[in-house]
Amino acid sequence: MKETGKLKLSFWNYVNHYFIVIFVLLIPIFSLVSVFEIYVTKTYDGVRAASELLSFSLPWIIPAVLFFFIQKNQLKFKKFNIQYTDDEFKEAIERTVKELEWRIERNNKTYLRAHRPWNWTGSWGEMITIIRLKNGILINSIGDPDAWGSGLGYGWNRKNIRVFLKNLSDVKNQIPFKDIIEVQENEWSLKRIIVRLFMYPLCLGLIAVGLFVIANPTNWKSQGAGLAAIVFASYYLYADIKLIIKQNKARKHNKL
């Protein structure tokens, strides 16, 4: 991992990490199976023509490719040049455990592996990996590949890295640890607005298409694809809206 600068996972963890890509590709996959049945096995029992099946599946390729590159980029380590002692590193970890409830899986002279558990912020938990260097660290945080369907981090991956680096800096500067009133990130930043302008119409479109396909099925594959689309879109909308409501409540509470 030091040589490649990328996180190494087991086969099934890779599958889980890229599951969102596979999920989005379900509709194109089912459509291609039907096309195969039309031209090769001659066993197709649906009513749609091959051209219609292909034109229906092509729009799903775009978000799948987008999610693929997002997930691929998340496997990269971030390098930070910082001097620290073993005691300073240990203290920074202890502070982060208290602040973010990290659960330490392994911590030795070479690297640390920790997991942040699931909560109600949308993320199903994250896996944090820190490789110790002579003059710095390599750090990575991704949706926990041991938690099924944890591809979306909802800002927690950045937060895991930011909080640990802050704690390490505070320890080096001998700043005492204290209970922190969490400063909520701006849920209406330009970046998040752009993401929502893309994801909300996509999710609503997925739900509409899913309902139509289930109501007008050609075979079991179309019903399965429709159900998959509804589940994916509903989960994203639910988690994102719940996160906005949670942070609005926290902001009002802090004002009081």
CATH 2.60.40.180 fits 78-172, yes or no: no
Structural contact between residues 53 and 39, judged by C-beta atoms closer than 8 angstroms: no
Q: What is the pTM of this model?
A: 0.71
∠ CA 156-100-1, nearest 5°, is 60
Q: Would you call 101 helix, strand, or coil by DSSP?
A: coil
Where does the chain show beta strands of DSSP type E? 78-81, 103-107, 111-116, 126-133, 136-143
Classify burial at 45, counting beta carbons within 10 Å of its beta carbon; exposed 0-12, middle 13-18, buried 19 or more. Answer: exposed
Summarised one tens digit per residue, pLDDT across range 76-126 is: 999 999 999 999 999 999 999 999 999 999 999 999 999 998 765 556 789
Summarised one tens digit per residue, pLDDT across range 172-196 is: 999 998 755 454 556 677 767 887 8
Q: How confident is the model at residue 151 (pLDDT cuts 50, 70, 90)?
A: low
Q: Map tokens 């109501």 to a residue.
A: 215
Selection from 89, 95, 141 nearest residue 110 by Cα: 89
Domain limits, the chain: 1-76, 78-172, 186-256
